[in-house]
Amino acid sequence: MTIKSTWPLVLVLRDRNAGLYLSSVVVSGFGTSALWLASGVWVKDLTGSDGLAALCVLAMWLPTLAGPLLGTLADRGSRKPLLIGVNLLLAALLLTLVSVDAPGDLWLLYAVLFLYGAAGVVQDAAESALVADAVDPSLLGDFNGLRMTAAEGMKLLAPLAGAGLYAAYGGASVALLDAATFVLATGLYALLRVRERQPAPPTGNHRKRTAEGARHLWSHPVLRPLVLAGGATMLCAGVNGAMVYAVVDGLGHSPAYAGVLYAVQGAGSVAIGLLSGTALRRLGARRFAAYGIALLAVAVALRAVPSDPLALVSGAAIGAGLPAVLIATLTSVQRETPGPLLGRVTATANTLVYTPNVLGLATGATLVELTDHRLVLVALGGALLLTATPLFRRQARAERSGWRAPSDADAA
């Protein structure tokens, strides 16, 4: 076995652009995760209101609904200067939060968080397009898996650092930390050596250009089933997420035990990120996504059993199964979409995949009050298995007809 198949991390980091971009993900992801936690605590301390604290997450999430529209910005010119500009803008916005020290100042915090979320949508779209140009096509599967690993790793570490910094110096210090990470990420983007495919000049009206991403996804035989499966999976994942405290209660632990379950789930996500490149090469995008969803289905259903060891194993399996469809979808979008459309298609796919998660959280919050959470978890397992089944069938039909999904080797 060669080092290429055994150590995808080494292979990716040997690519200068991939290593620089991955470093920027780690740096900016650390700051974002720290601010995500600190902002809610900040509002809670100033107002004593759980509802107002929860609005911080809502403010950052809302711009995702405008993904197809915001994604057009990533297709209007070079993506590298856009990313540099967005990072510097975010750093400047975060500096304004040093003046927030009373309930009357919270409008500024919410405004910055909303703009933060909108800039994040544009950034994700531009990054996806730039990565398709900057990273060798044979590395895309490994790279996207490692990107997931980096992001999940920061979610495990950064909130603790953010909480400690907030406790010692207040919310403004966390905002300054996040601003510094964006400045550092800007420097890393500036070091990228990439020959970008310039987007074509805009044609047609703005509404038509915005809709092109959705049309591409809907008409594409590879992307449409992956995006639909991703949205359905994230809907179920949202409902499952709302059940976590009921699961903890069923195990006889205090609510703080949820942190243990989240930690093992994060560990599972880190592991699958390291293995995803190899899995994509061997299975193809649809089967990799299907196996991941099937693993998630079994793990969610098993959470209905009140057993500590089983809960920990299920948590790790959830962390490993859920990212599979996300990695498969993003990698396929990058491979199957023309460069001039890639920003819009990425943003549209993200909206369609991630928006159902919030709807699932709201649905789960209602269901957990109305019925036994164990029944909900078993039903979710069944729904996820139904979601995975069409991906297996489509793969089988494709193999019988002689067509198969592009792999990393094909892209190379």
Last residue of a domain, one of 160, 177, 196: 196
- The reply to whether 201 falls in a domain is no
Residue type, 388: A
Same domain flag for 181 and 214: no
Torsion of CA 268, 295, 291, 280, to 10 degrees: 0
Cα→Cα distances 320→84, 139, 233, 377, Å: 32, 20, 13, 18
Task: List, run by run, the mean pLDDT of 10-residue segments along the chain (412 residues).
Answer: 50 77 84 81 81 76 81 78 91 92 89 91 84 75 81 73 82 91 91 70 60 81 92 92 83 74 84 85 90 95 92 92 91 83 83 86 80 91 94 59 39 36
Same domain flag for 184 and 212: no
Q: How far apart are CA 83 and CA 20, in angstroms?
A: 14
Instruction: Give the model's pLDDT for residue 405.
Output: 39
Instruction: Give the model's pLDDT for residue 206.
Output: 56
Same domain flag for 347 and 390: yes
Same domain flag for 65 and 166: yes
The number of domains in the chain is 2
Last residue of a domain, one of 157, 172, 196: 196
Q: How far apart are CA 235 and CA 361, in angstroms?
A: 8
- The reply to whether 237 falls in a domain is yes
- The reply to whether 38 falls in a domain is yes
> Would you say 244 and 256 are in contact if contact means Cβ atoms under 8 Å apart?
no
Q: How far apart are CA 349 and CA 343, in angstroms?
A: 10
Please give the model's pTM, rounded to 2 decimal places. Answer: 0.75
Residues 6+ away with beta carbon under 8 Å from 249: 255
The string of DSSP codes covering 275-338 is: HHHHHHHHH-HHHHHHHHHHHHHHHHHHTTS--HHHHHHHHHHHHHHHHHHHHHHHHHHHHHS-
CA nearest to 216, candidates 50, 347, 124, 107? 347
SS3 call for 198: coil
Same domain flag for 147 and 224: no
Q: Looking up tokens 């500024």, which residue turns up?
A: 108
Q: How far apart are CA 339 and CA 362, in angstroms?
A: 36
Instruction: Give the model's pLDDT for residue 409.
Output: 38
Same domain flag for 7 and 78: yes
> Would you say 337 and 216 are in contact if contact means Cβ atoms under 8 Å apart?
yes
Same domain flag for 116 and 225: no
CATH number, domain at 53?
Answer: 1.20.1250.20
DSSP H helices in 50-139: 50-61, 67-70, 79-95, 106-134
> Would you say 358 and 172 are in contact if contact means Cβ atoms under 8 Å apart?
no
Q: Looking up tokens 């590879």, which residue turns up?
A: 222
Q: How far apart are CA 126 and CA 108, in angstroms?
A: 27
DSSP class of residue 100 equals -
Last residue of a domain, one of 142, 175, 196: 196
- The reply to whether 308 falls in a domain is yes
Cα→Cα distances 89→112, 174, 187, 294, 337, Å: 11, 17, 14, 41, 28
- The reply to whether 240 falls in a domain is yes
- The reply to whether 17 falls in a domain is yes
- The reply to whether 202 falls in a domain is no
* Tokens found for residue 295: 């693993």
Q: Looking up tokens 């919270």, which residue turns up?
A: 106
- Domain residues for the domain of 142 are 1-196
> Would you say 149 and 74 are in contact if contact means Cβ atoms under 8 Å apart?
no
Q: How far apart are CA 240 and CA 203, in angstroms?
A: 43
Same domain flag for 174 and 250: no
Instruction: Give the model's pLDDT for residue 387.
Output: 94
* Tokens found for residue 380: 């979710």
Same domain flag for 187 and 274: no
In this structure, what are the phi and psi dihedrals at residue 206, rounded to the nearest 5 degrees? -65, -35
Same domain flag for 229 and 163: no
